[in-house]
Amino acid sequence: EIMPSLVGSEMCIRDSTYTADDLPLRIKDSNNFSGVTNVAINIVDLAIIEDLNVHVSIDHTYIGDISIHLLTPDNTLIKLAQNLGESLNDYTNTIFDQEAENPIIFAIPPFTGSYRPIESLSSLRGKNLNGRWRLIIEDNFDGVSGFLKDFSIAVCYKGDVLSDSDLDMIADIEDNCPNTANTDQL
């Protein structure tokens, strides 16, 4: 039995949370160029997104140095936060939620709680969940580094979730080679 939960401000009957492995991870510091750190979550489930929230925890002094983006499997780049918080510290259990009451641009670090991101997550409604989701952290100034401690995606979805182990957009139960990508099924 699936228990209802809250993703966004609405009741969600079917939901899942996907978490990045290999954390904590040092954020690459800028050295005359932007330091870019990528962390991926590979989702093998086939489902249609109703709502999606992004959870991060980042330990970083002078948090105004960094920008945070979400890159979706279809290469949609969504700006979650950019150079906010000036010389203050950290994103602590920060949830980027399109339905949150407070926008992140008016918040004060350590950004604990739920905030509306700079760019909308609503564009993800109706898209497929399956694929590689990346959090991109860009450090724009030299001298201060930090750690990404947590990155996860909470998704409310339509219908049932079907596994797609080889990420070829064909559910394992219908795939003639569930461990080898072959979209033409030859």
Provide the pLDDT confidence category of residue 117 given band limits of 50, 70 and 90. Answer: very high
Q: What is the mean pLDDT of residues 91-101?
A: 96
- The span from the CA of 73 to the CA of 80, in Å, is 16
Q: Looking at residue 10, what is its pLDDT?
A: 53
Q: Which residues have C-beta within 8 Å of that of residue 105, sequence separation ≥ 6?
A: 84, 118
Digit-coded pLDDT (tens) for 134-151: 999 998 777 767 899 999
- The span from the CA of 35 to the CA of 51, in Å, is 30
Q: Looking at residue 33, what is its pLDDT?
A: 62
- The span from the CA of 96 to the CA of 115, in Å, is 5
Name the residue type at position 94.
T
Q: Which two tokens stand for residue 2?
A: 């699936």
- The span from the CA of 145 to the CA of 184, in Å, is 46
Q: Looking at residue 142, what is its pLDDT?
A: 72
Reduced to 3 states, what is the DSSP secondary structure of residue 138? Answer: strand
Relative to beta strand 113-115, strand 91-96 is parallel
Digit-coded pLDDT (tens) for 160-174: 777 788 877 787 877
pTM here? 0.83
Q: Looking at residue 41, what is its pLDDT?
A: 96
